[in-house]
Amino acid sequence: MKITEVDLYQHFGRKREGNGGVLTCYIAEPITELAPKRHPAMVIFPGGGYRFISQREAEPVALRFLKEGFNAFVLRYSVDTEFPVPLIEGAMAVSYVRSNADMLNISADNICVAGFSAGGHLAGMTGTLFGYAEEQGVTQCIPDAVALCYPVISSDDSIQHKGSFDVLCGEDDELRRKLSLEKAVRKDSSPAFIWHTCEDNAVPVSNSILMAQAYAENKVPFELHIFEKGGHGLSIASRQTEDFESGKWNQPDASVWTDLLTSWLLQRGFSVKPM
């Protein structure tokens, strides 16, 4: 495996607007005794309430999907930074991967963005509000699919993750409404795989249910999984990402989400293919 880092602002020649915009690339080395292959791509946006980047939702997720034949990319996007900076960085990540498909050994039309918690909100924005990024000059930035993992979605007072919207929107109530993603889904939004747990007391499961309803109303393909057990921030829900002191984040029942996502993407044509 080859691991490299790309400064997206430098690559695209854009003035730096935040404190992030760095993409870590995990690229499987070719198997020399086999014909060259192209891999599907998994672009990962860790969570952290738009205040930090969760390491548990970064490399462990990348390594899990490398095992399934994906080349993986983890975005360290800007934190403590208002909209639109994170969206522009997320769009740049997708654009970079697509426009360098040959170099990265990936299929340019098999790019999934997987986001966790606030990173799920960012992934949702790349799949619904991509028009804004295109207006800002970022092209080829629409994901072919998004995976929304216990995502922050709605700015509705009763279920919103207030901290995420406080960082992203400040005191701008109109912007909060605009970035309430259940209202942003359109017929051309990226297909979505969504999962959550009933016991999530940080980002209520209603966020995912509302998003799924929006996809259904707009007739956009989606799949929704709600697990009974498990708190917020499960990542891959295994002992690898468990806090052994508290016992948090190890939930075998929910850990099947990675298999379910892989299967859903395979049905959509995301597979290892000949060059």
Q: Which domains does the chain have, with CATH numbers?
A: 2-274 (3.40.50.1820)
0.85 exceeded by pTM:
yes
Closest-CA residue to 76 (of 53, 49, 92, 42): 53
- Report the residue count for the chain: 275
Report residue 250's pLDDT band, with 50, 70 and 90 as the boundaries. Answer: low
Percent above pLDDT 70 for the chain? 97
How far apart (Å, rounded) are the C-alpha atoms in residues 81 and 71? 28
Type of residue found at 143: P
Which residues contact residue 4 at a Cβ distance below 8 angstroms, ignoring those fewer than 6 apart?
Answer: 24, 25, 27
Closest-CA residue to 146 (of 206, 78, 224): 224
CA distances from 102 to 49, 86, 153, 221, 242 (A): 34, 26, 34, 28, 36
- Cβ proximity of 57 and 257 under 8 Å: no
Given this model, what pLDDT does residue 249 score?
59
HEC string for the chain: CEEEEEEHHHHHCCCCCCCCCEEEEEECCCCCCCCCEEEEEEEEECCCCCCCCCCCCCHHHHHHHHCCCCEEEEEECCCCCCCCHHHHHHHHHHHHHHHCHHHHCEEEEEEEEEEECHHHHHHHHHHHCHHHHHHCCCCCCCCCEEEEECCCCCCCCCCCCHHHHHHHHCCCHHHHHHCCHHHCCCCCCCCEEEEEECCCCCCCCHHHHHHHHHHHHCCCCEEEEEECCCCCCCCCCCHHHCECCCCECCCCCHHHHHHHHHHHHHHCCCCCEEC
The token duo for 252 is 């075998």
Has residue 30 got a pLDDT over 90?
A: no
How far apart (Å, rounded) are the C-alpha atoms in residues 111 and 130? 15
The token duo for 155 is 């700015």
Has residue 160 got a pLDDT over 90?
A: no
Has residue 242 got a pLDDT over 70?
A: no
- Out of 4-18, 48-62, 156-170, pick the least confident: 156-170
Given this model, what pLDDT does residue 239 score?
76
- pLDDT, mean of residues 73-94: 98
- Cβ proximity of 259 and 193 under 8 Å: no
Given this model, what pLDDT does residue 245 score?
60
- Cβ proximity of 185 and 211 under 8 Å: yes
Given this model, what pLDDT does residue 77 score?
98
| Predicted confidence (pLDDT) per residue in 169-223, tens digit | 999 999 999 999 999 999 999 999 999 999 999 999 999 999 999 999 999 999 9
Given this model, what pLDDT does residue 252 score?
81
